[in-house]
Structure 1
């Protein structure tokens, strides 16, 4: 039996990954997310780390990222038209430093900031979307990595979104947990009308965007997505839906790459 050294094992795995991604669009071509049309990719200026969440509104674009080496988490603000960096604030709270998927509701931005391990703890932070000043902080006894907000209600997914926590903002003693109806590990989610739109990865090379009726949790539609390569851990990409996602009408925005990052813009065709 031949034993490969560590360097050779890494090289062999790199070849396998490259071969696996050979037929997958690497620059955001049509078909990267099914039943969508690729519009373009916007490079983001400024320093970004491992990206986590994305939200858009008017001329603004917010991104969360985590510097895993320094154990620091950040919210970044960019100009949505140009990708120009505008501002950054730190979200680190001791052991709670990775921010997750984010959601805007009215004039508020909601961001989960958790420990980097399952079955741990998190803060759900409400920021003023204009000033980025903190309005409220809710402590939760579990890792929460994504959040969707609407008037009076929050939905947040724990590690790999195995459970979805539902919070009544008018009575925080009323919290319930329901199973994720999908096998997708949701990373970012938003309320769009009476539906929850959630995206994430299933493997290193694939993911989905799901439209889920709320509160019945029936999945009404699923868009499968491939990957942008080369994928992690040797590259900076992964499944198009593996990290940040935002929805604006029929426009779908995804942020699959670690910094330097690009926002990929797709338009739903059906």
Structure 2
């Protein structure tokens, strides 16, 4: 009787926990990216590992990736027309080998390179986009997983972007922090049209792309992201899911797969 009672109690407990987990889970979105249309897909030819960040201009595509097996981090440059690998730069900095989401401003690509653990350390690396030479480094006593760059300011997210670091480049790299009020763990972010645009995951299946007013840091728009077939543009569909996002006006680009990788181009509705 005691065993039967215990068994019944365990069943009730399991059912209660299952109900709570379902209620707490984010709503699954069955489309690719809300209010966006797929324009094309470009195969990226060359060795890529676990994809982290994406940036591009008219001629080139830059992707950061981490080779976890060998504790190495890289930025890779591709030809935007053909997708062929042009060159890559090793970003490994001692215990810091995890490059994150990247951003371009005034001819420089900014890359956070961090230890692969929370509450650790990172270095924000400024790289000349033409030569891939390192211009400067800014050290931060926390893991940083993504960065957005403007002419005078960097905004960087720590582990899962729970905190956003605001770094004033005109004031001796003065730093302040702002809590992230979104449920989304931002993985890549950019300044675009005077706002921050940040993308990341909310679950294994889905995530969001958010527009954040600058400098108030209030969200003004949020689009859900789901999957293109088995490919999840923003969600964390496993350890081999890429996380890169870039935006140019209404054109949104994602690299949702680790190597071999493809660049997906979406056009946002007005």
TM-score (norm: length of structure 2): 0.85
* Alpha-carbon distance in structure 1 between the residues aligned to 2:92 and 2:175: 25
2:265 is matched with: 265
Residue-by-residue CA offset, 1:62-115 (whole Å, 9 max, x unaligned): 000000010000000001111111001100011000100000001111000000
The offset of 1:234, in angstroms, is 6.2
* Alpha-carbon distance in structure 1 between the residues aligned to 2:103 and 2:231: 28
The offset of 1:174, in angstroms, is 2.3
1:128 is matched with: 128
2:61 is matched with: 61
The answer on whether the counterparts of 1:181 and 1:217 sit within 8 Å (CA) in structure 2 is no
The offset of 1:248, in angstroms, is 1.3
Residue correspondence of structure 1 range 84-99 to structure 2 within 5 A: 84-99=84-99
The answer on whether the counterparts of 2:38 and 2:265 sit within 8 Å (CA) in structure 1 is yes
Residue-by-residue CA offset, 1:138-158 (whole Å, 9 max, x unaligned): 110000000000011100000
The answer on whether the counterparts of 2:205 and 2:237 sit within 8 Å (CA) in structure 1 is no
RMSD: 1.7
2:70 is matched with: 70
After superposing the two structures, state which structure 1 stretch, 141-150 or 174-183, moved more.
174-183
Cα distance, 1:230–1:254 mapped onto 2, change above 3 Å: closer
1:51 is matched with: 51
* Alpha-carbon distance in structure 2 between the residues aligned to 1:180 and 1:194: 19
What SS does structure 1 have at the residue aligned with 2:160?
A: helix
2:9 is matched with: none
After superposing the two structures, state which structure 1 stretch, 114-123 or 246-255, moved more.
246-255
After superposing the two structures, state which structure 1 stretch, 46-55 or 163-172, moved more.
163-172
Q: How many residues align?
A: 239
1:219 is matched with: 219
User: Within the alignment, does 1:174 sit opposite 2:182 as a pair?
Assistant: no
* Alpha-carbon distance in structure 1 between the residues aligned to 2:231 and 2:246: 23
The answer on whether the counterparts of 1:206 and 1:225 sit within 8 Å (CA) in structure 2 is yes
What SS does structure 2 have at the residue aligned with 1:203?
A: coil
Residue correspondence of structure 1 range 243-258 to structure 2 within 5 A: 243-258=243-258
Residue correspondence of structure 1 range 232-247 to structure 2 within 5 A: 236-237=240-241, 243-247=243-247
Residue-by-residue CA offset, 1:4-23 (whole Å, 9 max, x unaligned): xxxxxxxxxxxxxxxxxxx9
Residue-by-residue CA offset, 1:152-210 (whole Å, 9 max, x unaligned): 11000000000000001122352100001211000000001320000000101000000
